[in-house]
Amino acid sequence: MKNLVQIALSLAVIAASQGVVAQTFPAKPVTIVVPYSAGGPVDNLSRSLGIRLTKEWGQPVLVLNKTGANEIIGAELVAKSPADGYTLFAATEAALTMNPHLYKKLPYNPEKDFAPISRLITVPMVFLVPQNSKANTLKEFVQLAHNAKDKPMSYGSSGAGGIVHLPLAMFAKQEHLEMVHVPYKGAAPLIPDIISGQVDSAILGVSVVEQHVKSGKMKALAISGDSRSVALPDVPTFKEAGVKDINGAFNIGLVAPAGTPSAVVDKIASDVRKILMDPDFRRTQIDAYSYVAIGSTPAEYRSFLAQDFKVQAERVKISGATLD
């Protein structure tokens, strides 16, 4: 009985101390590590969140760009940082659920080294073909690809083993298509080759290609997701197009080093969600870029990552991709 009382008292002390930590957090500047250079979706979202969190917390929230190695450099830095909530990581599937299947060795363990805070946004992805393609629907594209025996059709991606490559590898597998993968160093050099017809297809984020689709430079045949995009309302979902969805999306989330007090994690998640759901922030920083706001709880984000870990394992296996 005495031991049980001691345990209960210890738990009460821990809970009380965590509550005090959460009430006083943050007491100094907070850094969000971004694994990409300035100007991209992860950087832009992190900076706009940082501005609002600075007002909310009364402490500077700074963005530190640590680019390279498929998010590994940024991930390692955060994984080895103090677990106090003052160093956060704005990460995507690359660091959290894909790299373990693409690399034999990593300097961090995504399942053990991070405390999930919130899945911030998801970016729907669009299946694209050149304007001069004979395919006007996704089913027509599948049929054309089936008939292209002598010269298999191609699909471009922004890099082997990346968020763009793996869903298309899954698409080819699902539809029993023989297609040639053409990797590029990012979306910027890929887009002109879609427009000119150098590649037969690709899948990219709505915000990246919206202007090109609306100007008629390329055709959008379907969007991956449960509903149509506000930015491209005439583009059907995969399901509406009569083809199994490849669940192609680009997710940005926020994590902290493992061991960060749960009360601090919960506070950050709650404050971030409040910002994401603010009508003005959504209009200028979410809807304006065709993102979909999520603002999940830490538990919801942990569950999402666990499920996505399995999804990415299957995709990497099907694609045969490796980044070692």
CB 33 within 8 A of CB 80: no
The candidate with the shortest Cα–Cα distance to 90, out of 108, 68, 75, 109, is: 75
- Phi, psi at 190, each rounded to 5°: -75, -40
Residue 14 has pLDDT above 80, yes or no: no
Q: What percent of the chain has pLDDT over 90?
A: 78
What is the rounded distance in angstroms from the CA atom of residue 13 to the CA atom of residue 2? Answer: 17
Query: pLDDT tens for residues 231-283?
Result: 899 999 999 999 999 888 889 999 999 999 999 999 999 999 999 999 999 99
Q: Is residue 186 left, alpha or beta, with left meaning phi > 0 and alpha meaning psi from -120 to 50?
A: left
Mean pLDDT for 156-184 is: 92
Give strand pairing partners of 125: 205
Q: How far apart are CA 255 and CA 125, in angstroms?
A: 23
- Please give the single-letter amino acid code of residue 127: F
Which one is predicted more confidently, 207 or 27?
A: 27
Q: Going by C-beta distance under 8 Å and a sequence separation of 6 or more, which residues neighbour residue 86?
A: 26, 28, 29, 30, 31
Considering 94-98, 158-162, 288-292, the range whose residues carry the highest mean pLDDT is: 94-98
- Residues 302-315: pLDDT tens digits? 999 999 999 999 99
Higher-scoring residue by pLDDT: 4, 199: 199
Q: List the beta strands (DSSP E) in the chain.
A: 30-34, 61-65, 87-91, 114-130, 154-157, 180-183, 202-205, 218-223, 249-257, 292-293
Query: pLDDT tens digit string along 52-86?
Result: 999 999 999 999 999 989 999 999 999 999 999 99
DSSP letter (8 states) at residue 242: T
- One-letter amino acid for residue 38 of the chain: A
What DSSP line would sit under 11-44, residue for residue? HHHHHHHHHHHHHH--SS-EEEEESS-TTSHHHH
Reported for 47-50, long-range contacts at CB under 8 A and 24+ positions apart, including other chains, are 48/281, 48/284, 48/285, 49/120, 49/272, 49/275
Average predicted confidence (pLDDT) for the chain? 92
Tell me the pLDDT band of 4, cut-offs 50, 70 and 90. low
Global pTM reads 0.87
Q: Which residues of 153-168 are buried (b: 16+ CB within 10 A; e: fewer)?
A: bbbbbbbbbbbbbbbb
The pLDDT, as a whole number, for residue 163 is 86
**Percentage helix, strand, coil for the chain under 3-state DSSP, each rounded to 5:** 45, 20, 35
Q: How many CA atoms within 13 Å lie on the side-chain side of 100?
A: 18
How high is the pLDDT of residue 2?
Answer: 58
Number of other residues whose CB lies within 10 A of the CB of residue 58: 9
Per-residue pLDDT tens digits for 27-53: 999 999 999 988 888 999 999 999 999
Chain centroid to CA 18: how far?
30
Question: Which of 8-22, 61-75, 123-137, 232-246 is predicted least confidently?
Answer: 8-22
pLDDT of 8 strictly over 60: no
Predicted confidence at residue 131, as pLDDT, reads: 97
How is residue 87 written in tokens?
């160093």
pLDDT for the residue numbered 10: 53
pLDDT at 159: 84
pLDDT bin (cut points 50, 70, 90) of residue 188 is confident
Is 202 buried (19+), middle (13-18) or exposed (0-12) by CB count in 10 A? buried
* Ramachandran class of 58: left when φ > 0, alpha when ψ lies in -120 to 50, beta otherwise: left
- Round to whole Å and give the CA distance between 168 and 175: 10
Q: Which residue has the higher pLDDT, 230 or 307?
A: 307
